[in-house]
Structure 1
């Protein structure tokens, strides 16, 4: 990764979100999305023609096809964009807290009590509390559904399922790598059984040592963040006590769920599986029904069972309602935790990932949940305003620093980023690197860690180089446009440079002149 000026071709003024620049990017993204949707509708039309009765006239067939595809198109457009969902989640009072009776009154197009009872395998009281995460979507459905007959809605939903799920599954030409597709499908429909197979490739002794090293790093990062919070100048005493209590209660779930080692438990996972070697389609439908039904009363689920991700998942999570970070085994089995490696290797990679997830407990969304994962504002109005101003520092800095042109269909288009959507992630990146670097310095003390053979960089320089490598990747122009539109993380390489330019440790290690692109006079820091 180049830390130089290649991604800072100039400082541009911040552009209005409704300006022409944004519309160009929207058109490029809209073109790609429309092309995908057009292909999808053509597949649907083909399926409809195959299933329509021969007794229908050509006029009736055309009308049914038109109305069904129109319904599906409107249904697709109604669903909120990922950016809208993320943006709304940063604000309070965007969810709807209600009960089953009121839910039925507001949105009568679904028999909610029956649906919930069938799905959750329990009796539902009319007074049962319900939290609607995206009420505006249901509001939109309430307006659109009455425009179509029940037959069109029913057939349209069946067609969506047939196209988006079954057609790809049964059409052997839909994937250029059919064996890989079958492997992914097996992982999806037998996730727990595959998890049990996955964990058995590792020796228990190795996992015990790995758990010890991971837990030690986790605790070191928590101690470092505690120290930084105690020295924080913008928190009042009540807010400081609340965030410290939440940090102290923060749990980490590492490696994998212990039950995956229990052969008796694993065997029970497959008790209800029935496979007919002559009826693949029926096997698929039956398995999907099983996966979509809660096997027991959800009220009696053990809380500990919910904290784990499948061990083969290569991602890390922070769960707001449990105040827990989850790091699956696949993330931790990289060679970063080998005992013979210098500590700047694990701290600059896993340490950054850990710190990033920890800090999500203290972003604009996380700060509205207490140490028990219950909804509660931890900060008063003044302290929250201070937090928001520090996040606005990141928004303003990124919007005036980063811009990019990509070649799309033979034309150069400017990419317009929505930094308000990415600010929580950018905060976790920036403060996460500062936290990981501070923790590493505390652990090594005054000792000098060895450099790597054949590389003329010292330990501190290698720390930041290795951290940058974590987020480096190559993207095609189309992938880049798509990522900017649908993801709430900053894309590469802006993500790497945005993290590093706000690190004083990076500037000192590489001796970047003050005022240069990678060492701006004003840096952003939150925690």
Structure 2
């Protein structure tokens, strides 16, 4: 019976009771009845009736006056009330106990009978497109219980309909906009920068001139500088340095202070960041990847003098390459997202005493009185040990190469490489163009859905039994930042900002040095107000991240605009995509470290990577678990989740397939080899941990996925 029918029936019952009460209130009393029957009654009849009444009521009089009867009645009433008090909770629990959930039996081959009809099928055009995308990556000839990676991410049968990585989609969109919308008009300088990238070489006159200013190549037999500090000082004035990164941010709290932060740099940061990293957009933390520089060999050929013999060149190349490899390994091992292992100092002299690696007086502002935060003391110590192993001549030459590689495009110029490089160099302007490409309605709807999913994820976690104490307090105060920065919404402001820049050279290297110099801002020139702690994401960088200092989950617009997050799609697709990304960062925000659990839980195949990678994989697993169970707690396994057309899969199966396919695409984008046995092992382990995948795919006992369920993060 429907709820409407219940309401109607209850209303009718109430009306009927009211009518009965009205009739009862007008029923004549006994005296009135006698009067209505008439008054012509004989006395004899009255006496006979009185005698009959006395004979009938004698037992009633005895019952009223007997003390024994009174005691028996009271005892019986007491027993009855007690029985009702004891039985009522049991009756309540029986009446409100949830019924057994229906099995997900949509396939005709299932050996079960669904206790309810299957959910409706989504008829929107986008549902068919998403179904085609998911199906385009599936190899139906394989068993998901044993070969889940190859079942869900079959690259051999990939079609043009399949969804690419989020960042790859952004790169493609921005490439089109740069090639078609920047040839003239207010953004012509952006097109000029893009064109200078396409023409960049490793032996340009600008590179040679700058390297000579920094001291140039020091040949074998030359006595190197007594300290590397003077070279780092010169580099800081020109561009990003290879050893350290010095910038400014705010402390957390009601009365924030400006912090001078010393961190480690990377070779492939998402943007050319400003030195002031508050009161505006912020790039997400990024993982340094110990890969080979694509332009290293060509740059060394141009850097080393032609007068050197072939053996001398080979020796120099090997020495410099070895130093760079060791430095990169240190960067990988000391990748940090938060500030948990940082040390705080309060004057430059203390910094100099503890870390004599560099002459900090030359590198930091004169008379700096605010706190100094060293993000990773172990990184500084490891750098000191590395520099002792090599002569200052080798260190000097290696620093020049790393400095140049940090400014050049990451690979030989082509349209997609230069698109990424242009976004890296001018993230504010390219972000404004990206935002302008999307309608205000779509942006508002995406933000609304993101905030709702964030609330549901938090609500689920608050009910987790293992979440207690400080973690629960942090979760309660955690907020989300999904609104785009106002500077990205005003396209006119972005055009004026671009017009004020000097991008006049045909040489990429020269243009980037000018942009870097313009980005250097005096921290005392920016006033701190109540909104200074707010953090915004660059919409062109498709990475959700947790910002430690503002204690917020920052979601870029590009993540919210993915096809799987469309409001016309069933909720399991939204939880499988954006929900997992947000859940991972929520988990990161409430826990400091997963080292112990990572060692116990993460499979042996991951041990070839660093501890950082192990923890990242564990956090990804936890994000899947949180998003999956949050989805079920809101919608139920079947309720409200329409099926995708022409795809014979249950909603929960699609959840795990979409999560797997997105992970494969993102891994391919950043250069991880997804065809290795290690990756296959990691992926099926992740899927097995991320909920009830082995049950969803009906994996038998003893199958790979069934046996992989070993760890719950919460």
Cα distance in structure 2, aligned partners of 1:33 and 1:392: 22
- Verify: 1:186 aligned to 2:422, yes or no: yes
Superposed counterparts of 1:284-299, under 5 Å: 284-291=512-519, 293-294=520-521, 296-297=523-524
Larger Rg: 2
2:451 alignment partner, one of 203, 215, 222 = 215
1:248 pairs, out of 472, 476, 482, with 476
Q: Give 1:299 deviation, angstroms.
A: 6.7
Contact conserved, 2:427 with 2:538, CA < 8 A, in 1?
A: yes
> In structure 2, what is the Cα distance between the partners aligned to 1:308 and 1:242?
26
Q: Distance in 1 between matches of 2:480 and 2:709?
A: 34
- Residues in 2 aligned to 1:359 and 1:226: alpha-carbon distance in whole angstroms: 12
Name the structure 2 match of 1:282. 510
Q: Once the two structures are superposed, what CA deviation does each residue of 1:366-407 show, in whole Å capped at 9, x if it has no partner?
A: xxxxxxxxxxxxxxxxxxxxx766444413xx12xxx5xxxx
* Pairing partner for 1:506 from 681, 687, 693: 693
Deviates more, 1:461-470 or 1:219-228: 461-470
CA offset digits 1:465-497 (Å, max 9, x no partner): 222222234989x9657999xxxxx97433431
The counterpart of 2:631, out of the listed 440, 453, 456, is: 440
2: distance between equivalents of 1:363 and 1:492? 26
1:394 matched residue in structure 2: 601
Pairing 1:305-344 to 2, within 5 Å after superposition: 307-344=535-572
Q: What CA distance in whole angstroms lies between the structure 1 residues aligned with 2:558 and 2:323?
A: 40
Give the Cα separation in 1 of the matches to 2:705 and 2:674.
27
**Alpha-carbon separation, structure 1, partners of 2:666 and 2:474:** 38
1:262 maps onto 2:490 in alignment: yes
Query: Does residue 197 of the first structure (1) align with residue 439 of the second (2)?
Result: no
Structure 1 residue 256, shift from structure 2 partner: 2.0
* Corresponding residue number in structure 2 for 1:28: none
Within 1, Cα distance between the matches of 2:375 and 2:386?
Answer: 20
Aligned pair 1:449/2:641, yes or no?
yes
TM superposition shift of 1:337 = 2.8
Q: Within 2, Cα distance between the matches of 1:465 and 1:284?
A: 42
Q: 1:140 to 1:507 in 2, by over 3 A?
A: closer
Q: Deviations over 1:419-452 (max 9, x none)?
A: 7443422332222222212221222246252222
Offset, 1:37: 7.2
Instruction: Work out whether residues 391 and 423 of structure 1, in 8 Å CA contact, stay in contact via their aligned partners in 2.
Output: yes
Q: Is the 8 A contact 1:307 1:326 kept in 2?
A: yes
- 1:85 corresponds to: 334
Figure out how many residues of one structure are paired with residues of the other and give that number. 431
**Is residue 463 from structure 1 mapped to residue 705 from structure 2 by the alignment?**
no
Tell me the residue number matched to 1:412: none
Instruction: Judge which range, 513-522 or 240-249, deviates more.
Output: 513-522
Cα contact 1:44–1:163 (8 A) shared by 2: no
| Alignment RMSD (CA, Å) | 4.2
Distance 1:189 1:480 in 2: 25
Alignment-derived partner of residue 129 in structure 1: 371
Matched, 1:111 2:359: yes
> Which residue number in structure 2 is paired with residue 100 of structure 1?
348
- In structure 1, C-alpha distance between the alignment counterparts of 2:610 and 2:404, rounded to whole Å: 37
Instruction: Give 1:330 deviation, angstroms.
Output: 0.9
Specify every segment of 5 or more residues in structure 1 that has no aligned partner in the other structure, as ranges: 9-31, 53-57, 118-122, 366-386, 404-414, 485-489
Contact 1:502/1:525, CA 8 A, preserved across alignment = yes
Deviates more, 1:437-446 or 1:41-50: 41-50
Residue aligning to 2:713: 526
Deviation at 1:129, TM superposition (A): 2.8
Aligned to 1:43: 299
Deviation at 1:225? 0.9
TM-score, normalised with respect to structure 2: 0.52
Counterparts of residues 394-433 of structure 1 (less than 5 Å): 394-395=601-602, 398-399=603-604, 403=605, 417-418=608-609, 420-433=611-624
Separation of aligned partners in 2, 1:501 and 1:192: 40
Contact in 1 for aligned 2:290/2:328 (Cα 8 Å) = no
1:225 to 458, 461, 469: 461
Closer, same or farther: CA 443–304 of 1 in aligned 2, 3 Å: farther
The 2-side partners of 1:390 and 1:143 are apart by 31
Contact 2:320/2:397 (<8 A) preserved: no
Q: TM-score, normalising length from structure 1?
A: 0.68
C-alpha distance in structure 2 between counterparts of 1:390 and 1:243, whole Å: 17
Conserved 8 A contact 2:145-2:694: no
8 Å contact from structure 1 (residues 104, 112) kept in 2: yes
CA distance change for structure 1 residues 263 and 510 in 2, over 3 Å: closer, same or farther?
closer
Q: What is the match of residue 373 of structure 1?
A: none
Residue in 1 that maps onto 2:579 = 351
In 2, the alpha carbon distance for the partners of 1:207 and 1:219 equals: 19
1:195 positional shift: 0.8
- Cα distance between partner residues in 1 of 2:578 and 2:294: 42
Instruction: Give the Cα separation in 1 of the matches to 2:651 and 2:400.
Output: 59
Q: Secondary structure at the match of 2:364?
A: helix
Q: Report SS of the residue matched to 1:351.
A: helix
Q: 1:263 to 1:342 in 2, by over 3 A?
A: closer
Closer/same/farther in 2, CA of residues 71 and 325 from structure 1, 3 Å limit = same
3-state secondary structure, aligned to 1:322: coil
Shift in CA distance, 459/136, structure 1 to aligned 2, threshold 3 Å: closer
| Distance of aligned partners of 1:483 and 1:521 in 2 relative to their CA distance in 1, 3 Å threshold | closer
Q: For the residues of structure 1 that align with 2:568 and 2:294, how far apart are their CA atoms?
A: 54
Runs (4 or more) in structure 1 with deviation over 6 Å come to 61-69, 88-92, 146-152, 481-484
Secondary structure of the 1:325 match is: strand
What is the CA distance between 1:311 and its match in structure 2? Answer: 0.4
Q: Is the 8 A contact 1:72 1:160 kept in 2?
A: no
Q: Is the 8 A contact 1:69 1:156 kept in 2?
A: no
SS in 1 for 2:707: coil
Look up the match of 1:410: none
Gaps of 5+ in 2: 1-137, 150-288
Shift in CA distance, 281/243, structure 1 to aligned 2, threshold 3 Å: closer
Secondary structure in 1 aligned to 2:305?
helix
